[in-house]
Amino acid sequence: QVQLVESGGGLVQPGGSLRLSCAASGSISSAYVMGWYRQAPGRQRVFVSFITSTGNTNYVDYVKGRFTISRDGAKNTVYLEMNSLKPEDTAVYYCYATFNGALHWGEGTLVTVSS
């Protein structure tokens, strides 16, 4: 059993910043991919970013230069630092992880970018 618990969402003004966290617990492996998807109202869930257990990262083009993903291996936690937020970044952000070949999802945290 794996649990992913997200935190850090909220309301922020355009141009502002937020940091999302995703803490993993349970039957996790030392080799993993963890990352984030997001789902805007009325839209499909789309990929945002991932980081591997070896530190490799990837981002969707429209967040490059604004979002930074990082990890704390000791805490089994992944972070998404989001800067220069835009109204179009408003979405529910879902953490995901692959441990031992199985895909797991968190329940999501809402990010609202609005003045």
Other C-beta atoms closer than 10 Å to the C-beta of 96 total 20
State which residues of the chain have pLDDT below 50: none
Give CA angle at 19 (13, 79), nearest 5°. 155
pLDDT in tens, 25-43: 998 888 899 999 999 999 9
Nearest to 102 by CA among 6, 21, 49, 24: 24
Return the structure tokens found at 25.
């617990």
The continuous run of DSSP H or E covering 42 comes out as none
| DSSP letter assigned to residue 56 | -
Task: Give the three-state DSSP class for 62.
Answer: helix
Looking at every residue in the chain, the average pLDDT score rounds to: 96
